Structure 1
Amino acid sequence: MSEIFNYIDYIGTFVFAVTGASIAGKSKFDLFGMLFLAFLTSVGGGTVRDLVIGQPVFWTNNSTYLYLIFIATLSTFFLVKIYDKNKSLLMFLDTLGVGTFGIIGTHKTLIYDFNAETALIMGTISAVLGGILRSAFSKEHSILANKELYATVAAVASLIFIALTKAKIEPNICALIVIIATFLIRYISLKFKIQLPSLK
């Protein structure tokens, strides 16, 4: 992947590590527990993606990801009360993580010549599996059980990236458009309480 996509991946790793560590802090985990949940949140989806597409797991070849997770966790340990009081900040970071990881998962799958359908699935998994693991190991209400559009936002972001890529738009521009679109879609869905139908 190009250097700009590496930076996007670093951003996603850091912000998802912060959200994982902050949820762990709210659940009264100790520092190691916070680090564990930050790790699961930030690399869970990408790990599964790389295993499925038959590539080396990204964080095993680049220790920068591990340092980012540690720094994010340590900073959150001291700032957890600030994050707890500023729900909108956590929402911003979580949405940024969804957008960046959706881009990385989709882009990485496409550059290894998988079809668009596989790229869509891998992009969505990259963006949401970490949050699912975060919910499973903490007291957080599962993001899959929430009424808001979460996995749907990730899937739409992946679809947009695929469409822009097929249209031969420069990848960096694609990434910027998708991140903006991710924020718009999520915040509009929350503001107007847009939901998919579910069984009663």
Structure 2
Amino acid sequence: MSEIFIYIDYVGTVVFSITGSIIAGKAKFDFFGMLFLAFLTAVGGGTVRDLIISDTVFWTLKPVYLYLIFGATLSTFFLIKVYEKYYRLLLFFDTLGVGTFVVIGTHQALRLGFNNETAFIMGTMTAVLGGILRSSFSKEFSILLNKELYATVAALASILFITLSHSNIDINYCAVITIVTTFILRYGSRRFKIYLPVLKD
């Protein structure tokens, strides 16, 4: 996979760290608490993925992820009002992160020879588990209970990437198509208020 996706992964890590530390700041966590929640949000999904598929946890090989998380958290500590003001920009990069994390998680499992079903779970988990962990350790309303098609978008993106990767399409094009589709699905569902049905009392 092209190096460009590594840098996009770094961007996703920074934005996930910012969203995690913003939630921690609103919950009145101290700086260490903000850093902890940023870490869970940014690399929680990828860490669990690597443990499940018996791969070396990615950030232990590339400490740059830890520096990115620390830097993002430190900037949030001083610039939280600025970040909140530019919510739409954060949403854009957050969606970019979701799409990229889905691609990386799904591709990692497929590359190691796991079946499609496992790759699907690993891709979805990489993208959304960090947010779930963030919600668990803060007062935030869980993304699993949120009406927005967040986890659903990640799941559909993973299925798309698996389908494309089994075709004759170059893996980089598969990644681009998947990320673009993630944007279309997420922004489209928000724009037209598309939600999955829920059980009624």
TM over 0.5: yes
- What secondary structure does 1:35 align onto? helix
Structure 1 unaligned regions, length at least 5: none
Deviations 1:16-72 (A, max 9, x none): 111111211222222111111100001100011001111011111211110111111
1:7 maps onto 2:7 in alignment: yes
CA distance in 2, matches of 1:189, 1:2: 29
* Residue of structure 1 in register with 2:83 after alignment: 83
TM-score (normalizing by structure 1) = 0.94
Question: Contact 2:11–2:93 (CA<8 Å) still a contact in 1?
Answer: no
Question: Contact 2:9–2:97 (CA<8 Å) still a contact in 1?
Answer: no
1:69 maps onto 2:69 in alignment: yes
Question: Contact 1:8–1:104 (CA<8 Å) still a contact in 2?
Answer: no
- Give the C-alpha shift of residue 137 in structure 1: 1.2
CA distance in 1, matches of 2:4, 2:114: 21
* Residue of structure 2 in register with 1:25 after alignment: 25
Structure 2 unaligned regions, length at least 5: none
- Give the C-alpha shift of residue 89 in structure 1: 2.5
* Residue of structure 2 in register with 1:194 after alignment: 194
AA matched with 1:10 = Y
CA distance in 2, matches of 1:167, 1:76: 42
Relative to structure 2, which stretch is displaced further, 167-176 or 6-15? 6-15
Relative to structure 2, which stretch is displaced further, 78-87 or 15-24? 78-87
* Residue of structure 2 in register with 1:35 after alignment: 35
- Give the C-alpha shift of residue 6 in structure 1: 2.8
1:112 maps onto 2:117 in alignment: no
CA distance in 2, matches of 1:72, 1:124: 24
CA distance in 2, matches of 1:139, 1:168: 46
- Give the C-alpha shift of residue 2 in structure 1: 5.4
- What secondary structure does 1:113 align onto? coil
- Give the C-alpha shift of residue 159 in structure 1: 1.1
AA matched with 1:148 = E
* Residue of structure 1 in register with 2:98 after alignment: 98
* Residue of structure 1 in register with 2:140 after alignment: 140
* Residue of structure 2 in register with 1:128 after alignment: 128
CA distance in 1, matches of 2:60, 2:161: 26
Q: Say if 1:48 and 1:155 are closer, same or farther in 2 by CA, change over 3 A.
A: same
- Give the C-alpha shift of residue 149 in structure 1: 0.6
How many residues align structurally? 200
Question: Contact 1:150–1:186 (CA<8 Å) still a contact in 2?
Answer: yes
- What secondary structure does 1:51 align onto? helix
Deviations 1:106-155 (A, max 9, x none): 01111001111111110000000000111111121110001111110001
CA distance in 2, matches of 1:54, 1:16: 24
